[in-house]
Amino acid sequence: MEFWRSGGIVAGNRLETAVDLDEPTDGQAAELSELLGQVDLAALAQRSPLRGRGADSYQYDLTVDDGGEIVHVTLDGTEVPSELRPVIKRLESRAIEERRRTP
pLDDT in tens, 41-69: 888 888 766 555 556 788 899 999 877 88
Work out the angle at residue 32's Cα, subtended by the Cα atoms of residues 30 and 33, and round it to the nearest 5 degrees: 65
Domain boundaries, the chain: 2-101
DSSP 53-73: S-TTSEEEEEEEEETTEEEEE
Amino acid at 60: Y
Q: What is the pLDDT of residue 91?
A: 95
Residue 88: pLDDT band with limits 50, 70, 90? very high
Residue 30, pLDDT above cutoff 80: yes
